[in-house]
Structure 1
Amino acid sequence: MTTPTTPGYSASPDRAAPSRTSPDRAIADQLHSGDEHPDLLDLARHLDEGERRRLQALEDFAQRRIRPESIEPWNREQLPRQLLTELGRLGLGEISVDGSSALFQGLAHAALARADLSLSTLVGIHNELLVGLTDSLGSPQQRAAWLPGLRRLETLGAFCLTEPDHGSDIARGLATTASLQDGQWHLQGKKRWIGMGAVADLALVWARDTADDQIKGFLVPTDVPGYRAEGIRQKTGLRIMQNAEVDLDLRVPESALLAGATSFSAVHAALRDSRAWVGWQAVGAQQALFDIARSYAAERDQFGRPIGSFQLVQSALAQVAGNMGVSTAFMGEVTRLQAEDRLTMLRASLAKSTLTRLARESASLAREVLGGNGILSSHEIAKVAADIEAVHAYEGSYGINLLIAGREITGISAFG
């Protein structure tokens, strides 16, 4: 008998027959033992056997290594490069171009976010905006020069779009200029909030061509004279992610122009998909909150019994589980739409805005479970909650994404 394939997902014909045990009882037993994965909807069941094994290996590494080893670097605002090297060996530098299913990519991003949101952000932007755009829009020479190192996470990239005076209005207000002079592009301007800007090997710089007023992309080695970057310190979220302010006054060969990015519309799909990817971060972050709060509720005793026996704690955990389930289901359907090439900006913007809002709510609930310990990064809830604040604000703030969705719904722009 042929196993039916769910659109956008892969069939799993090797799956064992359903158990006669009550599903509720089985999940409850596993949750009590701490063995159950926090994805209560078990989206991984839709992966084929090979991708399930890959996902399991990534989840094991993320929980065994990234989760504990990211706490001190987060406290110190440092980049744990050894973890990036190992993520490269696991193939996390190329999942956007290696033929992985859309669902595997999403669950991989969630698995990283569950362990650490900063490294999840780095890997997500690297895949969605550096590797993806170089692969789809780069010339054969550009792909040959940059993709091998990028795919192994040996070459690190920075996506240089946002500016000190232009964030939400970047498409209209971008001020960095590019002028073609004697066979070289002269780039001048400033960028801000550039992830990996001070440590990257390659910068994908967006600048306005003074000849035709079009926004174009340029692949710029960061060791070229005139590229200067200074790290932004004292952030309260995504502290591992090395954001920077970048000053540009440099010249690169005419061949540095990203071949397929001769107008800003060329990156519309990438920015749309990047918003959807943030939804997976919200899923992974809530899995982390659920993990931490559930374990603490089982281990912490007050009044002679575990606090998990108290009604208020059970209510908080159930609300986190509900928010997490809604977010997971939403992203499962977004993944189907991506696989069918039907993802719209409306859907992507709603995914980003709605799920990061739910993640903030979940963070508040989970922090309450830990009481005073909830403000210590060593107990992790504070770290996750602070990172969620940053995720809620980037890739288009919450309000901007709502207005993008509103424009799509009404056909009327609120941006003037």
Structure 2
Amino acid sequence: MANIFSKARGLFHLFQSIDINQISTLASKIDLGEVMAAVGKLDDNQLNSVVKMLKSGGSHHQKELPAIEGDFYHLGHALTDEERALQLKVRAFMEAEIKPIANEYWLKAEFPFQIIPKLAQLNICGLTYQGYGCPNKTFLMEGILAMEMARVDTSISTFFGVQSGLCMGSIYLCGSEEQKQEWLPQLQQFKAIGAFGLTEPEVGSAAAGGLTTTAKRNGDTWVLNGQKKWIGNATFADVTVIWARDLDDNQVKGFLVRKGNPGFSVEKIQDKMALRIVQNGLITLNNCVVQEADRMQNANSFKDTAKVLQMTRAGVAWQAVGCARGAYESALDYTRKRKQFGKPIASFQLIQNHLVEMLSNLTAMQTLCFRLSQLQDEGKLKDEHASLAKVFCSLRTRDVVSHAREVMGGNGILLEYNVARFVADAEAIYSYEGTKEINSLIVGRAITGFSAFV
């Protein structure tokens, strides 16, 4: 009898840990007197097996779950202690300052200007440049930080990429020393905001040879005419890099057009379905007069423009990684909390299959970009390396965000669950900094020896 009561007490303590609804269901299905009699006939091993079985079926809510971590191969641990600290610093900033407001500003299609001084305090703008107040860190670190930003909001990552990469990069690579001294310290500290004007209303992929924006020299000035479209930060930039075709030699040249310059106007592009926080503008240049001193002195053909694009394209691949990682981690968190049929949906086989597919793509993207940035730091980066990363990562990001939305069911289209924003923003990443088709042709030319461009 004592043995029966001892075993019964063990079961009683177990039942205390089970949800009350489960106990009620159990009582309606079995005769507890018969259960107690049966318990008394069990040996210790049999009883332990029963207890283990009951625990596994009745205490999902008490199970200690693994940390939600999109870096499955621990690439972050390959960073130095200083680099890892900077990564976590930027992550903390994005979680504390951007995540709480991202959906609000995305929905309003407005930019949260109050974050600019806080971004400046991170001291990460112009991360890879030497001098001019820039930190002089690695391209790998720059990529990691682009991912961390996009992991919370791709729009903020894009704003930063335009400022730090495209605008500052153009001046750093193509500007005169005087232009560098004037603009780079201001841009690095966010005391000035920059934009980059290459794409046109009718010219995207054909920018290398088909720019319709023109420049005509007139003594110590240049007269610019044409339009630029999809120009990030354009509505509030203090300086905009404008690429135009010189009518005299037909070569592409670069100009630094200052805010308020006569003949320079910007119209905000409305009704976007992606990157809604980014303020994209349609720029019109109508006999816009620019001083020769504001022509970038080392930008004399599209080959110089291409150097800027090659340098920044790796960052866009990292942005794709961040977008995918944010979607994956949000979806994983959701599936562990969302219950159907009395259990978290993360415990269902088909949901786990979706999650593993997402993680597989994400891990492949991260390892590819990690090696890409190492090549860039080694001075071995080629156009085809950056293009392959852009093609693969932007394509796979589409898959990841699609799976993320799917496992969340109808809630996946609501902003409050965050994934809807990643789904939309992935479409913009897929197209900018070179479409899949153009980047594929760059890689194809490198591996076959034949150019398939028109």
> What's the TM-score once normalised by structure 2's chain length?
0.83
Q: Tell me the distance in 2 between the aligned counterparts of 1:389 and 1:34.
A: 31
Quote the residue 1:320 is aligned against: 358
Displacement of 1:34 in angstroms is 6.2
Q: Please say if residues 98 and 153 of structure 2, whose CA atoms lie closer than 8 Å, have aligned partners that are also in contact.
A: yes
**Matched AA of 2:143:** G
Displacement of 1:415 in angstroms is 2.0
CA deviations 1:310-345 (Å, max 9, x no partner) are 111111111111111000110111011111111111
Partner SS state of residue 201, structure 2: coil
Does the alignment pair 1:152 with 2:179?
no
- The 5-angstrom pairing of residues 239-278 of structure 1 reads 239-249=276-286, 250-278=288-316
- Using the TM superposition, name which of 308-317 and 139-148 deviates more: 139-148
- The 5-angstrom pairing of residues 185-204 of structure 1 reads 185-204=222-241
Does the alignment pair 1:350 with 2:388?
yes
**Matched AA of 1:408:** A
**Matched AA of 2:303:** S
Unmatched segments (≥5 aa) in structure 2 = 1-62, 130-134
Displacement of 1:154 in angstroms is 2.5
- The 5-angstrom pairing of residues 212-361 of structure 1 reads 212-249=249-286, 250-361=288-399
Quote the residue 2:87 is aligned against: 55
Q: Tell me the distance in 2 between the aligned counterparts of 1:279 and 1:32.
A: 34
Q: Tell me the distance in 1 between the aligned counterparts of 2:140 and 2:220.
A: 44
Displacement of 1:404 in angstroms is 1.8
**Matched AA of 1:180:** R
Quote the residue 1:91 is aligned against: 123
Quote the residue 2:71 is aligned against: 39
Displacement of 1:234 in angstroms is 0.5
Q: Tell me the distance in 2 between the aligned counterparts of 1:186 and 1:132.
A: 24
Q: Please say if residues 96 and 131 of structure 1, whose CA atoms lie closer than 8 Å, have aligned partners that are also in contact.
A: no
Partner SS state of residue 411, structure 2: helix
**Matched AA of 2:120:** G
Quote the residue 2:145 is aligned against: 108
Partner SS state of residue 229, structure 1: strand
Q: Tell me the distance in 2 between the aligned counterparts of 1:92 and 1:76.
A: 27
Q: Please say if residues 191 and 245 of structure 1, whose CA atoms lie closer than 8 Å, have aligned partners that are also in contact.
A: yes
CA deviations 1:223-266 (Å, max 9, x no partner) are 11111010111000011111111100210111011011122211
Q: Tell me the distance in 2 between the aligned counterparts of 1:32 and 1:210.
A: 68
Instruction: Name the larger-Rg structure.
Output: 2
Q: Please say if residues 264 and 283 of structure 2, whose CA atoms lie closer than 8 Å, have aligned partners that are also in contact.
A: yes
**Matched AA of 1:106:** G
Partner SS state of residue 191, structure 2: coil
CA deviations 1:114-134 (Å, max 9, x no partner) are 010011111112222111221
CA deviations 1:83-141 (Å, max 9, x no partner) are 22211110232213221122211110100010100111111122221112212321122
**Matched AA of 1:330:** L
Which among 105, 109, 128 is matched to residue 73 of structure 1?
105
Q: Tell me the distance in 1 between the aligned counterparts of 2:171 and 2:116.
A: 20
Q: Tell me the distance in 2 between the aligned counterparts of 1:290 and 1:394.
A: 22
Q: Tell me the distance in 1 between the aligned counterparts of 2:168 and 2:431.
A: 23
CA deviations 1:159-189 (Å, max 9, x no partner) are 0001111100011100111111131111111
Quote the residue 2:417 is aligned against: 379
**Matched AA of 1:352:** K
Which among 247, 252, 271 is matched to residue 210 of structure 1?
247
Displacement of 1:33 in angstroms is 4.4
Quote the residue 2:452 is aligned against: 414
Partner SS state of residue 193, structure 1: strand
Q: Please say if residues 173 and 308 of structure 2, whose CA atoms lie closer than 8 Å, have aligned partners that are also in contact.
A: no
Distance 1:153 1:33, change over 3 A: farther
Quote the residue 2:160 is aligned against: 123
- The 5-angstrom pairing of residues 392-403 of structure 1 reads 392-403=430-441
Q: Tell me the distance in 1 between the aligned counterparts of 2:356 and 2:158.
A: 27
**Matched AA of 1:105:** E
Which among 145, 166, 186 is matched to residue 203 of structure 2?
166
Does the alignment pair 1:136 with 2:168?
no
> What's the TM-score once normalised by structure 1's chain length?
0.90
Identity %: 38
Displacement of 1:286 in angstroms is 1.5
Q: Please say if residues 293 and 369 of structure 1, whose CA atoms lie closer than 8 Å, have aligned partners that are also in contact.
A: yes
Q: Please say if residues 316 and 365 of structure 1, whose CA atoms lie closer than 8 Å, have aligned partners that are also in contact.
A: yes
Distance 1:380 1:36, change over 3 A: closer
> How many residue pairs get matched?
386
Q: Please say if residues 96 and 128 of structure 1, whose CA atoms lie closer than 8 Å, have aligned partners that are also in contact.
A: no
Displacement of 1:291 in angstroms is 1.1
Q: Tell me the distance in 1 between the aligned counterparts of 2:289 and 2:321.
A: 42
**Matched AA of 1:178:** A
Displacement of 1:40 in angstroms is 1.4
Q: Tell me the distance in 2 between the aligned counterparts of 1:351 and 1:343.
A: 11
Q: Tell me the distance in 2 between the aligned counterparts of 1:308 and 1:142.
A: 55
4+ runs deviating over 6 angstroms = none
CA deviations 1:265-293 (Å, max 9, x no partner) are 11222211222211101111111011101
Q: Please say if residues 363 and 384 of structure 1, whose CA atoms lie closer than 8 Å, have aligned partners that are also in contact.
A: yes
Does the alignment pair 1:389 with 2:427?
yes
